[in-house]
Structure 1
Amino acid sequence: MKIGMITDSLGHLSFSEMLRASAELGLETLEFACGNWSSAPHINLNTMLGSETARREFIAAVGDHGLSISALNCSGNPLYPGAKGEENHRVTAGTIKLASLLGIDRVVMMSGLPGGPGDANPNWIITDWPPECLEIQKYQWEEKLIPYWRDLVAYSNNLGIRKLCLELHGHQAVYNVHTLLKLRDAVGETVGANYDPSHPLWMNADPIAAVRALGSAIYYVHAKDTRVEPVPTAIDGNLDPRPGDRYGERSWNYITLGYGHGETWWRQFCTALKQAGYDDVLSIEHEDMMMSPIEGMRKSVQLLRNVAINLSEPIKQMAAAAPQTP
């Protein structure tokens, strides 16, 4: 397993400062956001699409710091009704094209969420009642979501991209194992999971059980923690729209690795990933509003160094050294 970071985690730093900090932290890989919900602090999508020189210089700068590029990210809502969705789709399609031009094999994103018939805004259906809920959800999936993703999969495959890694996130059509597998069954195995345990944790799911269920459908992993706050949750439950900067009041908060769940839990999580066949990047996403980005990154990297499983080379060496049966 390799330790990496989505560079928005240090989005306050310039490109060169971020690369230097990443090397000093001992990271191996970087994930770059290209727009939509990210301000794309370290990459200009249009410039990179239009200039081979810019692409070469970008790759060289990353490599000069002993780093590699693990993925591009375009998380947004291309199914948002109207012009906003069209712009999100433009960035999404551009990011997939840029991944192809850079020789990167996967793009991290979200499923998007349509509105219901005639809606001006997305509509997240998470209950079967009142009766219109299931009708809205059927419309969203059959008329909007599945047709869009069939086209996006074909577009991606034509560019040689065969891993679209969907983050299971609230206020998205795909937000848990069931909905990810439902979409994957409908549009094919180009769609897989970017498994980020912080989201199922606040939705009261068990990420370790979910990893076992997803198995080979896991294409990427975000390393992010959530702390469920016992007293506010006991009073109001887990559904909490209070802003993140009101972390003293909220039922749950995104938090630096180890401050929601300790090393024992993260060891179990990495073990489950390994058992599911995932031996790849753990991309840290720092969104803890109680801790500075650089301090949060240092603590997160240290925890992952203690728990990540790196057995491939030792196993190969042991196999090579083992006595051969006549």
Structure 2
Amino acid sequence: MRLGLLTACLPGEPLEDIARWAGGHGYAALEIAAWPDRPGRDWEASHLDVESFGKDDAARVSAMLDRHGLSVSAVAYYENNLHADLEVREATHEHLRRCVDAAQLLGVGLVGTFVGRDVTLTVAENLRLAERVLPPLVEYAAARDVRLVIENCPMEGWHPDGYPANLAYSPELWGRLAELGLWLNYDPSHLVWLGIDPLAALEAHADRILHVQAKDVEVQAAARDRYGVFGRVLDRRPWESGWWRYRIPGLGEVDWRRLIDALHQHGYDGVVSVEHEDPVWSGSPERVRQGLTIAQRTLDPHVNV
């Protein structure tokens, strides 16, 4: 097992600067963000230009990572593959295919994404949509020795009322997604605020986990008593529930000692990739790196045993 980080937390930093820092601060792998470089969306990281990525680019990136003692755990592009707008959906699929192409050139076997949801349809209708839309993407990846790993984030901010907008939010649906050829990028933080025991979910689905994201969550039970599990309704703001927030591993509710021990017991030998979305340790690249240092100190004793 190795410790890595998702580069999306440093969207304005060059990939080599991130690699230099990560290699010098106890990290062994990068989950490289590869969103399209779109004007006005500075929060999206484009550390791989997959639209024009070729063999020379792959050789350059691989050599650079080797210099810093790093590998690539996955190419990361978390978007809504079931978007209600057909043009947006197809553009998302096209970019996902370019991420798969880049992963193949880099010799990386995983691309991380979301299933998503058409928020104009019911969950049952979305499952039928997924059965039609997703297999061609899985097949495209498989033909290039790449597998798609799906993060189990609810993506409640995509839904106008804060309901789950990513079909992979619930372990009940993981088996259905597995039938479509999708694998898990397991993130325990989402399960905690949904009231799901992350250890029980891991035990039941360990054979589908090919990648792990390490993010924690802080729960304020008194605020939940006021707002309910779906969060604030009046004066609602996307991505702010009013009763929970994401934190750096070790600063929230997840028992990382037991969780990583369970991964060891099930033979997981991949990467545990820190996904930094902690508002306390954000605001500047320096603060983000301080948060990543806290995460490394928390996780490394359990990962590298």
Could you state the TM-score of these two structures normalised by the residue count of structure 2? 0.86
CA 1:245–1:211: 2 relative to 1, 3 Å: closer
Q: Tell me if the contact between 1:211 and 1:276 (Cα under 8 Å) persists in the aligned partners.
A: no
Q: Report if the CA contact (8 A) 1:28-1:66 is conserved.
A: yes
Structure 1: distance between partners of 2:288 and 2:142: 36
Post-superposition Cα deviations, 1:25-56, rounded to whole Å, max 9, x if no partner, equal: 111000112116972332211121xx321221
Q: Map 1:151-162 onto structure 2 (within 5 A).
A: 151-161=136-146
- Residues of 1 paired with 2:199 and 2:134: CA distance? 27
Unpaired segments ≥5 residues, structure 2: 155-164, 282-286
2:160 paired residue number: none
Task: Tell me, in whole angstroms, the C-alpha distance in 2 between the residues paired with 1:243 and 1:7.
Answer: 26
Pick the aligned partner of 2:261 from 249, 252, 271.
271
Alignment-derived partner of residue 157 in structure 2? none
CA contact (8 A) 1:7 1:32 kept: yes
Contact 1:168/1:196 (<8 A) preserved: yes
The structural deviation recorded for 1:213 is 0.5
Q: Which has the larger radius of gyration?
A: 1
Maintained 8 Å contact 1:114/1:145: no
Q: 1:182 aligns with which of 176, 192, 198?
A: 176
Query: Which of 278, 285, 289 is equivalent to 2:275?
Result: 285
1:75-86 aligned within 5 A:
75-81=78-84, 82-86=86-90
**Amino acid corresponding to residue 292 of structure 2 in structure 1:** M
- Distance (Å, rounded) in 2 between the aligned partners of 1:40 and 1:109: 14
Paired position in structure 1 for 2:112 = 108
Matched-pair contact (CA < 8 Å) for 2:93–2:137? no
1:295 aligns with 2:290: yes
Q: Which residue of 2 aligns with 1:192?
A: 183
Partner of 1:205, secondary structure, is coil
Q: How many equivalent residue pairs?
A: 281
Report how far residue 243 of structure 1 moved: 4.5
- Structure 1, residues 123-165: CA drift from partner, whole Å, max 9, x if none? 5xxxxxxxxxxxx3332222x111112211211111122x211
Q: Give 1:10 shift.
A: 2.6
Equivalent positions of 1:113-124 (< 5 A) are: 113-116=117-120, 123=121
The one-letter code matched in structure 2 to 1:45 is V
- Contact 1:34–1:45 (CA<8 Å) still a contact in 2? yes
Query: Displacement of 1:245 after TM fit?
Result: 8.5
Bigger mean CA offset, 72-81 vs 8-17: 8-17
Partner of 2:92: 88
Unpaired stretches in structure 1, ≥5 consecutive residues: 117-122, 124-135, 311-326
Distance, in Å, in 2 between the alignment partners of 1:252 and 1:180 is 24
2-structure distance, mates of 1:55, 1:213: 37
1:79–1:145 contact (8 Å) kept in structure 2: yes
Within 5 Å, give how 1:126-205 maps onto structure 2: 136-142=122-128, 144-161=129-146, 163-170=147-154, 171-185=165-179, 187-188=180-181, 191-205=182-196
The alignment partner of 1:12 has SS state of coil
Deviation of residue 287 (structure 1)? 0.5
CA–CA distance in structure 2, aligned partners of residues 105 and 7 of structure 1: 18
Q: Percent identity?
A: 27
Spell out, residue by residue over 1:284-315, the C-alpha distance to the aligned partner (whole angstroms, 9 max, x if none): 010001112111100000001122253xxxxx
Contact between 1:4 and 1:31, CA under 8 Å: does it hold in 2?
yes
